[in-house]
Amino acid sequence: MFLEQLYKLRYLLLVEFSLLLVFAVFELVPFLILFSIFVIAAILLLSFKHPILAIHILIFSMIIDALIPVKGISKGPTVLIEEILLLLFVGLFTIKILLSINESNKIPIIILLWIPFLVWTLPTGLLVAVEKLRILIFWKNYFAGFFALILAYYAIKNAVHVRSLIIGLIIWGLLLALIEFKVLFDLGGFTSGIIGLYFKKNLLAITWGRSNYLASFFVLIIPITIGYFFYTKSKISKTFIAASLVFMAFAMILTLSRGGILALFIALVVLSFRILNIKTLIPFLSVSLIIIIVILLNPLTYVVINSISNLETSGSVYSRINFYEDTWNAFLKFPITGVGFGNLSYYATFILAKEASSSAHNIILGMLGEVGIVGGFFYFSILTAVITNIFKEFRRETNVALKLLKWSFFSAVIGAYFHSLVEPTFEGFQFSIIFWTVIGISLNLHLIRSNHLRKNILLSD
């Protein structure tokens, strides 16, 4: 009987014996590989059934990447977790789209405008570029934003999805702030870290971004966080959001990003135009007071104020102005096609520092220099359509709370646009995904209103 049972289980036993043998020889490596395969398979299966999960997984994978210790930040292309997940999700949802090709889905003009931009910039860039690999790297970053927009727009089906993504963005910003604090303590503790940042702000760096780049996320997320603070009725949510704002405000100062802080200030001024009224005056002043206290107590605030007051003698400002001229000259050489993504440095007469970015640090000049008049026209049309759509949706809205929330998205986008005039934000892989996810959410904010109407109908019945 025993031998008979063993014979029935012979294949299972053979597999188990083989696995034990492999583990004995290679230790944990095969286990980790198998475990990763099972996890990835589960993620893909759940994401295929519930696409909203794919958005959360994609954006939070960036946080996981930020926690991975790397000795020195690579100046070349890196393959990270979010890039692997992006590749898997693109393949997965391409299959899903093909399976539902007969279904009638509305395609917003913003998405349609992306197609000629992507189609034009890749082949023309490969044709004229000095460094072909950079074309693929930076084009991939823009494509990631395009995919995030599509994924967010079509995955959001109801008010719960909208709220979950807004709360997810707030948590994401909070975690990024906490990571900054971790970096600060890794520099030798709070005091030593502050002193280190006083002399060199780029000590605040994670595997995929330095201080100025990290500031761009707070410029985008903080106004939306304030908007949701006034939108939500939950006291627990308000408490959590207020605490998150304190951490994010402190983290924003840690970046010492003059452009980021000025862009956030502009976004908050725009936001205040709609927030300040009789009902919201006290809560808004309370939140503002907390943020101001946090900023004033931050020892690096003086450094930021001093650096802003000395802009005319700043080396970074001087290098930008010189590179602006080089970018314009590169555009004049190739006005139709541009020189290609990431190739501006090959046309620079101004000698850049080794750690300096070859970006123009200006979205208008950068686009004209890299993709020319045609590509620039397509991209600026996309950005114009974004701000126009959000503003129109705000004007149409009649619900006061939702109107304020939509205005917070509008002010966040305004802040992001201003920041892009002095920093290379939109060409970044992580920012591209976060920004266009925000736009995907903004296109579905009306679902919250639909949910309110449905509740009122049910209560009246």
pLDDT in tens, 25-58: 656 666 666 666 777 788 888 888 888 999 999 9
Phi and psi (nearest 5°) for 337?
A: -100, -20
Q: Taking 70 as the threshold, does the pLDDT of residue 446 lie above it?
A: yes
How many CB atoms sit inside 10 A of residue 4's CB? 7
What tens digit of pLDDT does each residue of 13-25 get?
566 566 556 555 6
Highest mean pLDDT among 102-106, 204-208, 438-442: 438-442
Query: Does residue 371 form part of some domain?
Result: yes
Query: Does residue 86 form part of some domain?
Result: no
Query: Does residue 3 form part of some domain?
Result: no
pLDDT (0 to 100) of residue 216: 94
318 pLDDT tier (thresholds 50, 70, 90) = low
Phi and psi (nearest 5°) for 292?
A: -65, -40
Fill in the DSSP letter of residue 428.
S
Give the DSSP letter string of 292-307. HHHHHH-TTHHHHHHH
pLDDT (0 to 100) of residue 264: 92
- Alpha carbon distance 1, 15 (integer Å): 22
C-alpha radius of gyration, the chain, whole number = 24
Q: Residues, the chain, total? A: 461
Which structural domain, as residue segments, surrounds residue 404? 108-460
Q: What are the E-state strand segments in 294-443?
A: none
How many CB atoms sit inside 10 A of residue 303's CB? 17
Query: Does residue 24 form part of some domain?
Result: no
CB contact set of 240 (below 8 Å; sequence gap of 6+): 170
Q: Angle at CA 366, nearest 5°, toward 254 and 219? A: 30
pLDDT (0 to 100) of residue 273: 83
Looking up tokens 């996320």 gives: 217
Q: What are the E-state strand segments in 318-449?
A: none
290 pLDDT tier (thresholds 50, 70, 90) = low
Reference 214, options 169, 178, 260, 182; nearest CA is: 260
Q: Taking 80 as the threshold, does the pLDDT of residue 324 lie above it?
A: no
- Alpha carbon distance 233, 239 (integer Å): 11
Query: Does residue 51 form part of some domain?
Result: no
> How many structural domains compose the chain?
1
- Alpha carbon distance 122, 125 (integer Å): 5
Fill in the DSSP letter of residue 349.
-
HSE-up of 351 (CA within 13 Å, CB side)? 1
Question: Average pLDDT, whole number, for the chain?
Answer: 79
Torsion of CA 89, 90, 92, 95, to 10 degrees: 160
Reference 76, options 212, 208, 214; nearest CA is: 208
- Alpha carbon distance 383, 17 (integer Å): 59
Lowest mean pLDDT among 6-15, 175-184, 354-363: 6-15
Q: What is the mean pLDDT of residues 213-228?
A: 94
pLDDT (0 to 100) of residue 241: 93
Do the beta carbons of residue 350 and residue 323 sit within 8 Å? yes
- Alpha carbon distance 241, 256 (integer Å): 23
Percent of the chain at pLDDT above 90? 36
Query: Does residue 412 form part of some domain?
Result: yes
Query: Does residue 97 form part of some domain?
Result: no
Return the structure tokens found at 86: 């992006």
Q: Taking 90 as the threshold, does the pLDDT of residue 379 lie above it?
A: yes
Q: Taking 80 as the threshold, does the pLDDT of residue 1 lie above it?
A: no
Return the structure tokens found at 157: 């089906």
- Bridge partners for 142 per DSSP: none
- Bridge partners for 206 per DSSP: 209
Q: How far is CA 227 from the centre of its chain?
A: 18
pLDDT (0 to 100) of residue 190: 62
Percent of the chain at pLDDT above 70? 71
Q: What is the mean pLDDT of residues 430-446?
A: 95
**Which is higher by pLDDT, 8 or 53?**
53
Query: Does residue 362 form part of some domain?
Result: yes
Do the beta carbons of residue 412 and residue 355 sit within 8 Å? no
Q: How far lies 337's CA from each of 6, 210, 332, 365, 369, in Å?
A: 70, 30, 10, 14, 9
pLDDT (0 to 100) of residue 309: 47
